[in-house]
Amino acid sequence: MQKLLLPFLVLLALVCSLRAADEDANLKYFRDLAETRSYSLGRPVAPKLTPDGQTVIYLRGGPRDPVLRLYEFPVPAGPERELLTPAQLLGNAEEQISAEEKARRERARVTLKGFTRFDLSKDGARLLVTLSGQLYVVNRADLKVTALPGKNWIDPRFSPDGTAVAAVSAGELHVIELATGTSRALTAGATATLSHATAEFVAQEEMDRREGYWWSPDSQALAYQETDESAVAVRHIADPLHPEAAPTDFYYPRAGATNATVRLGVIARTGGATRWVNWDAAKFPYLTRVVWREPGDPLCLSVMDRAQQTALLLRADPATGETTELLRETDLAWLNLDDHAVLPRWLPGGGEFLWTTESRGAWQVELRAADGKLLRALTPPEFIYKGLIKLDATNGSIYVSGAANPCETHVWRFPLAGGAGTALTTAPGSHAASFSENAATFIHSYSLLDGAVGAEVLSAAGQRLATLPAMAESPPALPNLELTQTAGTPSLHAALIRPHHFKARKKYPVILSVYAGPTATVVHSARRAYLADQWMADQGYIVVSLDGRGTPYRGRDWERAIRDNLIDVALEDQVTGLRALGKRYPELDLKRVGVTGWSFGGYFSAMAAIRRPDVFRCGVAGAPVVTWENYDTFYTERYLGLPQTDAAAYHVSSVLTYANQLTRPLLLIHGLTDDNVYAQHTLQLADALFMAGKRYEFMPMLGTHLAGSSDPVVKLRQQMRVMEFFNRELKP
């Protein structure tokens, strides 16, 4: 007996040792992933070319250091020069961030530290940075740093002529004259519910508009937004670790409730009376865009009705406040905003402007006359437009981002005169460009299907002029990724991530990593986008992602299939896509499928686990929207209408409608100080499940909507809990 037992014990010890080694390797993989921010730390952030195209200015941290410093790199050969570091200004002191700045960073999903942004004067001679609410101007020539008066500044920007800085503090718009170092408040009367020159919550979170003021092109006046939130419901968020501290108030307009009242005014740089811009704000309450850019350009604004089915482009007279309608857009379902362009973009002389529209079934760039009349479309409907990059009127061209494949993003040039476009990038992946003022050179940033990433300076003809230096670490291995399309109708773009130690004849449990909601896709031709999914796959899974109807980049009808019902079409497409992949790939064990997602993806995961137990064995729902009448107006009403008149749409889209049907294990995760999707949502679901006698797991987190994503240890522990849950339910 002992002779038989000894080899068994040795084998058991070996198996345990190998398993422990695998676990240690998995933990190191994800810890490295978290500490390097998916190996992005140490790469240039927000690079800009100086107007002459001779130097690149950018921010950068270390390979595992999220504190951003300011650098410049002369083209073509450098050397790189460090211009300013936070330590030079703060010494050993910690950075102090005001509650308002924290909220702005949350809206922009900024999790890095130090100099999180910079402004470059139009002549390229000076830089403007903020640290701990203090403003600093940096002369590039001699690196002289000047602290500007005041504190707790947000959204600072140079005037176009570079002689002044505008910024907001305590709800008021100020101008700081650089020649004298004096600060002047242009507005007055701010209260807890009345503010000037900052965008309201829905503009920052949902409209991709974070500015609340705009310099006139001649630097002599500013347009600014006044926001009255006195009728907006207040939500209070308390810090659960510090019950002695008073809760923070947030003015949050939930679906069907009262929005902030917004108006637009124009005031002289030297102060004085405000001239208010007139439009029918009762009918068109949303101020979605304000554009006042180049000399000779008119002041323009875009406004939208509450139903988001009619939008106007208006031209305003700053002297009188009167407006003229240039064009009107309508859609029976809803109108999308172009989140990738500041429009209209006027051509020199003011006789024509660029515009984008979905009115012919897909996004297109148009050229219109000064009175709004359509002259011609510049991009064809079959081209997948993703953003306007640059107008080069001198050479009669525009540069846009887009592709023929929704999973890719390339840089294209189209002639203003009309005609075929030219692709400036061709390698499969995601490409972006930032042009110099004269469009002679541009910064080309890329993340490719083959795993290559980087940033370089190219000429307009495509010649490489310089490669920007990076300090980022490289991942130990690239994701084992396959991109495909499912058979059948609809055909969906899909990504499969297999373990690095994949065995062809073995069947693997499946994790559906999902978003499935409007405004975003998850299938991209950028291999490094799947590093976190690879961590899950290497623990013995195949991770699948699918983009179904309701997601962008496949035309108007594809996206609007979810009108009045945010779940049924999305759920049908994800299940159909999974089953189609299962038929093609026998290694997918569709009897063992888990689902995980965050935000809308968390909402989908909860719904999938509850409503389709025949497909999903378990689900992890991170920060899910549970009751849509408790989410914000601009996002929710776009798809579901008003709860007062479209109650059926809210009922069918609510997780609570189906909570008593739960039969599968469900893990809920939520940041307790989330000011976007409030923890109320998950607590509502937890209460409904409890009252229905259903079992569930709840992991509260200390943090906001991203629940500690900036802390590597927190992120590691969170993901370990998620994988422990999947291992228990899918690999018992």
Which residues are part of the catalytic machinery?
A: 599, 674, 705
Q: Give the pairing of strands 493-497 and 481-485.
A: antiparallel
Instruction: Decide: helix, strand or coil at residue 531.
Output: helix
Q: Is 579 helix (H, G, I), strand (E, B) or coil?
A: helix
Cross-strand partners of 422: 413
Q: If we measure between CA atoms, which residue out of 593, 597, 600 comes closest to residue 665?
A: 593
β-pairing, 374-377 vs 384-392, is unpaired
Edge-to-edge strand ranges of the sheet holding 374-377: 345-346, 352-357, 364-369, 374-377
Spatial CA neighbour of 407 closest among 554, 625, 257: 554
What is the C-alpha R_g of the chain? 27
Q: What is the largest CA-CA distance in the chain?
A: 101
Q: Rounded to 5 degrees, what are φ and ψ at 604?
A: -60, -45
CA 245/CA 238 separation, integer angstroms: 7
Q: Which residues are within 8 A (CB) of 386 and not within 5 positions of it... i.e. 6 or more apart?
A: 340, 400, 401, 402, 403, 409, 553
The bridge status of strand 542-547 relative to strand 508-514 is parallel
Q: Is the dihedral of CA 607, 609, 611, 612 positive or negative?
A: positive
Determine whether 572 is exposed, middle or buried from the number of CB atoms within 10 Å of its CB (0-12, 13-18, 19+).
Answer: middle
246 class by beta-carbon count within 10 Å (0-12 exposed, 13-18 middle, 19+ buried): exposed
Q: Using CA atoms, how far apart are residues 657 and 675, in angstroms rounded to an integer?
A: 24
Distance of CA 422 to the CA centre of its chain: 28
Amino acid at 130: T
- Count the neighbouring beta carbons within 10 Å of the beta carbon of residue 469: 16
> How far separated are the first and last CA of the chain, in Å rounded?
30
Give the separation between CA 595 and CA 666, rounded to whole angstroms.
10
Contacts of 272 (CB under 8 A, 6+ apart): none
Q: Which candidate, 149, 131, 150, 129, places its Cα nearest to that of 139?
A: 129
Dihedral of the alpha carbons of 199, 205, 207, 213, in degrees to the nearest 10: 20
Whether the CB-CB separation of 287 and 225 falls below 8 Å is answered with yes
d(CA 635, CA 645): 17
List, as one string, the DSSP characters of 393-426: TTTTEEEEEEESSTT-BEEEEEETT----EES--
Q: How far apart are CA 596 and CA 730, in angstroms?
A: 13
Alpha carbon of 344 to those of 221, 289, 296: distances in Å?
20, 9, 13
3-class DSSP string for 35-88: HCCCCCCCCCEEEEECCCCCEEEEEEEECCEEEEEEEEEECCCCCCEEEECHHH
| Count of other CB atoms within 10 angstroms of residue 612 | 18
518: region left, alpha or beta (phi > 0 left; psi from -120 to 50 alpha)? beta
Using DSSP's 3-state secondary structure scheme, residue 659 falls into helix
Tell me the angle at which helices 568-584 and 600-611 cross, rounded to the nearest 10 degrees.
Answer: 70
